[in-house]
Amino acid sequence: MKIDRLIGIITILLQKEKVTISQLAERFEASSRTIQRDIDHICKAGIPIVSMQGYGGGLSIAEGYKINQTILMQEELSAIFMGLKSIDSISKYSHTQSLMEKFAYEKRAVLSDKNSIMIDLSSFYQVSLTEKIDLIKQAINNRELIRFQYYSEKGESERTVEPYFIIFRWSAWYVYGYCLTKQDYRLFKLNRLSKLQNLKTNYEERVISEKGLNFDQYIWRDDIKLAALFDISVKYRLIDEYGTECITFDSQSGKLLFENNFTNRNYLLQWILSYGDAVKIIEPLDLVDEVCLNAENILNQYK
């Protein structure tokens, strides 16, 4: 059942006095049985649709029932389509234009295809990412198991998973599901998995608790408070990554004092090393030792 098709059917019924199931089937390139199921869902949602048999018959919204067509304001519709366009950026198919046409009323466009905000959710791996999302989305809809090779800090492993959600968070795409290999819920980063396949094996849907849907629990939490001095030359990068609130000018050293909390020690270490000699750690002191050790190991590589 597609929400855009349901909206399209309701819109047509608002515009036309009567329409037949065969006409709707042809318009939406679906079977008559599918359209009949859609009509049933619309009726269950509280919109009464009357079916009249015989010559000149067809479907229509019950007389006296009105739908407020201004329930969605221009700004709200713009926000909806902005979100749809962002999804189109990682989808094989574009649904935005067809849905916009279905919102047309008496040949007057509800809104134009112009928006001052553009969101591109794709990445350098757009082609492979789109294919992964499409396969996982189909598996979720059909409640089918997926299998893939996964690469993490702990090594490489094969996972069989019951997929439940595709998530965009922390600037990356993830699939959330129940891992049969680990017998627990897990969050997997799409760029880290390969050899993805749909096993075409159905699974019984589990009831996920509210706590299980708190995805913040799946990131490492070390709560490390970092204080470090950075060269003025990298100020733009600090602002780009963490904003101006974390930076103050240190008049004594002539450098930028950066203070912020981090939740992943390994990420913090790699982030500090990426600044080379443009940073000096003040605290924590044990992180200073780790940076020095890594620097020595790098130097040894070139000796």
Tokens read off for 231: 């060269």
Return the pLDDT at 76.
60
Return the pLDDT at 106.
41
CA distances from 2 to 38, 120, 196 (A): 9, 23, 25
What gap in Å lies between CA 130 and CA 93, rounded to an integer? 10
Cβ 143 vs Cβ 121: under 8 Å: no
Burial class (CB in 10 A: 0-12, 13-18, 19+), 256: buried
Return the pLDDT at 38.
87
Over its length of 303 residues, how does the chain's per-residue pLDDT go in tens digits? 467 788 788 878 877 778 888 888 888 888 888 888 888 888 887 788 888 877 777 888 887 665 555 455 556 656 665 566 666 655 666 656 566 555 554 434 444 455 555 555 555 555 678 889 889 989 999 999 999 999 987 889 999 999 999 888 766 789 999 999 999 999 999 989 999 999 999 999 888 887 777 777 666 555 789 999 999 999 999 998 888 889 999 999 999 999 998 878 888 999 999 999 999 999 999 999 999 999 999 999 998
Return the pLDDT at 77.
58
What gap in Å lies between CA 90 and CA 97, rounded to an integer? 16
In order of their start, the domains of the chain are 3-61 (1.10.10.10), 73-120 (no CATH), 126-216 (2.30.30), 224-301 (no CATH)
What gap in Å lies between CA 236 and CA 227, rounded to an integer? 18
Q: Please list, in sequence order, all residues whose beta carbon lies within 8 angstroms of the beta carbon of residue 302, skipping any fewer than 6 positions away.
A: none
Residue with tokens 């619309």: 42
Tokens read off for 248: 């103050």
